[in-house]
Amino acid sequence: MRSALFVALIVATGTATVSDAKAADIKSISRIEFGPANILFIADWQASAIDALTLPAMAPAAARTFNIRDLGSLLEKLSDGAPVHVTDMKVRPGTGVAYVAYEFGPARTPGLAWVTSDERVHKIDLRMAKATETKLKDATDSNSAFWGRIPQRSLTVTTMKWHDGELFVAGLSNQTFASSLWRLRFPFDSQISRTSIEIYHTSHDQWETRAPIREMAFADLDAKSYLVAAYMCTPLVTIPLDELKSGVHVRGKTIAELGYGNTPSDMVSYVGTEEGKKVPYLLLTNYERSADLIPVSSIAESNNKPGFERPVPWGDITGVNLTYLPLAGVTRIDNLDDKYLIVVRQDPEQSKTQLVTFNKDIRLRVTDFVSEYDFSDYKYPKGYQSTFIKPIEDTLIREEGVQSPSKP
């Protein structure tokens, strides 16, 4: 019997023009995303709306590595010293500049700033910003809170991605099938249609639709375009884009289980280099687990098999080949350019919010560690250490902006 619970997909197309922009009234920011030209989309969960800000043009520039080890103190200077919580970060394409959304003070006042690699922070005055706005139809209107501290409405938008001329927005609606994905074209319009989707949750052994998609990316699998979605606790699901039509019910395919007791924090796609070959990846970062680096080829292989519709053994991670990466504490991740990833992370040793880069091929930061190689009297012997380890360490030391003890 078909489950009584379905995921809703909202598809919106638009014809409103940027010239219709008016003074923005942004009450909150949960996610941001860059769209066409100089457009920055802002998800305002308190207003159940998406605002499209038109930013001043910015000259193209080559990216430089970021090594900001205390982002919080820089942002606090913009908020009169009030404690700051970063909610999202995105790189403005082609500029090497990171845009950071945050909230500060007891009222969770929203803030937005752009940050350069030399630790300069520039506040964007949201009261003066011009924006066009669209309301998310049927967004959750609940006043309840999870565990007495997480407003249900704060999950109105859990993730948001611009892809192939459309904005995909995941979050909660006020409908029976609460987990929703809005799909909007820009400029905005109010024309809306709905497609429903259901997915099987491997850890919970049930079809679920209340808990929304937490992170998503896009991949071409066997020449067909898919949305790849990660849910809490942590099933990985593929959804064909061409099946997301108005009034049609689609069942997403659960292709992997990535571990119970976890909430995904972000997902990004990029092309890395392995043994001299270019390899497309999806990289999923997590709040409670290490990051998962998944070859798109493995996702395609799993997508060609029957989907999971039965529970997996408790604790098993199965369905795709993956590599665990040392990206603990990462809350947001984006592509800085073809060579680097940029992350917001919480340093577990110093309790600082950081904005730092990772080399896409090496995928660690040498300054996170103190190892045998780092003592000033260490001498690299011939062989593996001198021909492999030393060049990597030298590269990372240069990229992370520190000086190494002079060593032979």
Residue 105 within any structural domain of the chain? yes
- Beta pairing partners, 159: 170
Q: Does residue 387 share a domain with residue 242?
A: no
Q: Does residue 234 share a domain with residue 111?
A: yes
Q: Does residue 243 share a domain with residue 151?
A: yes
pLDDT score of 193 more than 60? no
Residue 222 within any structural domain of the chain? yes
Q: What is the DSSP string of 151-198?
A: EGGGGS-SEEEEETTEEEEEEEBSSSS-EEEEEEESS--S-EEEEEEE
CATH number of the domain residue 239 falls in: 2.115.10
pLDDT digits (tens, 9 = 90+) for 114-130: 999 999 999 999 988 88
Averaged confidence pLDDT in the chain: 89
Residue 393 within any structural domain of the chain? yes
Contact 358, 368 (CB under 8 A): no
Residue 408 within any structural domain of the chain? no
Q: Does residue 206 share a domain with residue 87?
A: yes
Domain region containing 380: 369-399
Q: Are strands 340-347 and 330-335 parallel, antiparallel or unpaired?
A: antiparallel
pLDDT band at 31 (very low <50, low <70, confident <90, very high): very high
pLDDT score of 2 more than 80? no
Q: Does residue 290 share a domain with residue 321?
A: yes
% of the chain exceeding 70 in pLDDT: 91
Distance CA 380, CA 271 (A): 32
Q: Does residue 387 share a domain with residue 312?
A: no
pLDDT score of 19 more than 60? no
Beta-strand (E) ranges in 340-379?
Answer: 340-347, 352-359
Residue 102 within any structural domain of the chain? yes
Placement of tokens 């457009």 in the chain: 39
The two structure tokens encoding residue 267: 């997902």
Q: Does residue 248 share a domain with residue 158?
A: yes
pLDDT score of 113 more than 50? yes
Contact 224, 232 (CB under 8 A): no
pLDDT digits (tens, 9 = 90+) for 129-142: 889 999 988 888 88
Quick one: pLDDT at residue 95? 97
Number of domains in the chain: 2
Q: Does residue 104 share a domain with residue 23?
A: yes
Q: Does residue 386 share a domain with residue 347?
A: no
Q: Does residue 394 share a domain with residue 291?
A: no
Residue 405 within any structural domain of the chain? no
Quick one: pLDDT at residue 120? 97
Residue 1 within any structural domain of the chain? no
Residue 42 within any structural domain of the chain? yes
Q: Does residue 373 share a domain with residue 355?
A: no
- Round to the nearest angstrom and report the end-to-end CA distance of the chain: 70
pLDDT score of 247 more than 70? no
Q: Does residue 178 share a domain with residue 220?
A: yes
